[in-house]
Amino acid sequence: MFSTLSAWLRDFGVERTVIGFFAWVGTTYSIKVFWAPVIDQVPLPLLDRVFGRRRSWMLVAQLGIALGLLGMSVSDPSTQITQIALLALLVAFSSATQDICIDAYRIEVADDDLQGAMASTYVAGYRLAVLAAGAGALYLAEYFSWAIAYKAMALLVSVGVITTLLVPATEQAPRVNHWQGPTFSSRLGSWFAAAVVEPITEFFRRYSGAALGLLVLVAVYKLSDVTMGIMANPFYLDLGFSKADIANVTKVFGFFMTLAGTAIGGLLVLRYGIRRPLILGAILVAVTNLAFATLALVEPNLALLATVVSADNLGGGIATAVFIAWLSSLTSRSYTATQYALFSSLMTLPAKVISGGSGWLVDQFSYFTFFAIAAALGVPAIALSIWLWRTRADESNARAA
């Protein structure tokens, strides 16, 4: 959604510095750990009885996404940039909430030995949605209007709603009533300790001295990839490519390369385990950013763009599938939503904060400098992935059931 948003804003002449600031809207994905305990523990009235904990929260989140996209479809970037920012925030918050629910559902519905396959399927579904909201939106914007493009994206939310209604409810770990105590403050404190503090302390107990290193790896693994994302479409437009060219190469063709990457990632995990493919993924993400830096220096042509984008999507697909499988293996089934939200928040927060200044960096220096810095940000992920492989620090006595 945010790559399409950046293209929309740039198409209306919005400055790249302002577009870069919109990356901060995406920090909602990085702070979702703050409301994940509510989703983990609090049932929605009426809906919870009918659909269960995960599906009821999914439905509410999908409603928020649809309303935000509809609001954006009737907004003008030239005069209503603040309104668009607020609606983008609604979409981001609702989408982050949906992610919490889907991640928890995905982990709870399958056994540990199937998490690699679940991760690959999850990424494939995500990329299909990106194809629709990316290439589909760009095609509609090119041949009709941005308003129609955003209305179409809002309509596509119905696919998620139908899926939520059709899938079975998961069997979650029994929830203990922690809302106990003589006063409201004591009951609130008891709930907070059980819903927020305990999932975090359980992780540190399980992984002991290695826990901090694991969390740092979570925080830096996607740093290089996410940082460059917000400037990708403005970069393609500034090179002189049309929206149709961008859709054809980066969305449609790139989509199939990502699917190939996720499939390869799943096979690598099956064949070699998680740790060595994790190193490969980190290296590929950093190296492909260097390819974008090279693209910024040479005469642009469609074949070269396709080559660079293919490498980027293939490497990104491998890295994402392996990384999600690894994150899933770290969670306890007793605190699925909260712990995975903690991991995925850490995964994106540093990159979202840094990417907010990406437009300023391009304006002050160049696209080459920006992509070179983005590639350098991948070095810590490579180093920590090698540390994980050598120490096997992510092994615990047993995954909590």
Q: 86-113: per-residue pLDDT in tens?
A: 999 999 999 999 988 988 888 888 776 6
Residue (of 161, 1, 144, 138) closest to 69 by Cα position: 1
Residue (of 319, 341, 267, 277) closest to 106 by Cα position: 341
Give every CB contact of residue 245 below 8 A, 6+ residues apart in sequence. Answer: 236, 302, 305
Residue 239 is which amino acid? L
Task: Tell the residue number behind the tokens 């990329």, with chain if given.
Answer: 127
Across 61-70, 124-133, 257-266, 284-293, least confident range: 124-133
Residues 202, 211: Cα–Cα separation, whole Å: 10
pLDDT tens-digit readout, 195-249: 778 888 889 988 888 889 999 999 999 888 877 777 788 888 888 888 778 878 8
Both tokens of 345, joined, read: 């928040």
In a domain, residue 183? The reply is: no
pLDDT, averaged across the chain:
84
- Produce one character per residue of 66-84: b if its CB has 16 or more CB atoms within 10 Å, e if not: bbbbbbbbebebeeebeeb
Residues 75, 91: Cα–Cα separation, whole Å: 14
Residues 178, 305: Cα–Cα separation, whole Å: 55
**Under a CB-based contact definition with an 8 Å cutoff, are residues 316 and 288 in contact?**
yes
In a domain, residue 180? The reply is: no
Q: Alpha helix locations (H) across 196-301?
A: 198-207, 211-220, 223-229, 232-238, 243-246, 254-272, 275-295
In a domain, residue 272? The reply is: yes
Across 13-22, 106-115, 268-277, 292-301, least confident range: 106-115
Identify the band that residue 397 occupies on the pLDDT scale cut at 50, 70 and 90: very low
Q: Which domain holds residue 241?
A: 2-166+191-391
Helix (H, G, I), strand (E, B) or coil at 351: helix
As a residue count, the chain comes to 401
In a domain, residue 274? The reply is: yes
How many helices and strands, by DSSP H and E, does the chain display?
A: 22, 0
Residue with the larger pLDDT of the pair 148 and 135: 148
Residues 81, 14: Cα–Cα separation, whole Å: 9
C-alpha dist (Å) from residue 231 to 55, 127, 228, 314, 359: 34, 19, 6, 19, 7
Q: CA torsion sign, 220 to 221 to 226 to 232?
A: positive
Number of separate domains in the chain: 1
In a domain, residue 43? The reply is: yes
In a domain, residue 291? The reply is: yes
In a domain, residue 399? The reply is: no
Q: What's the CATH code of the domain at 380?
A: 1.20.1250.20
Q: Alpha helix locations (H) across 114-175?
A: 115-131, 137-143, 146-166
DSSP 43: P
Checking if the pLDDT of 400 tops 50, the result is no
In a domain, residue 397? The reply is: no
DSSP 231: T
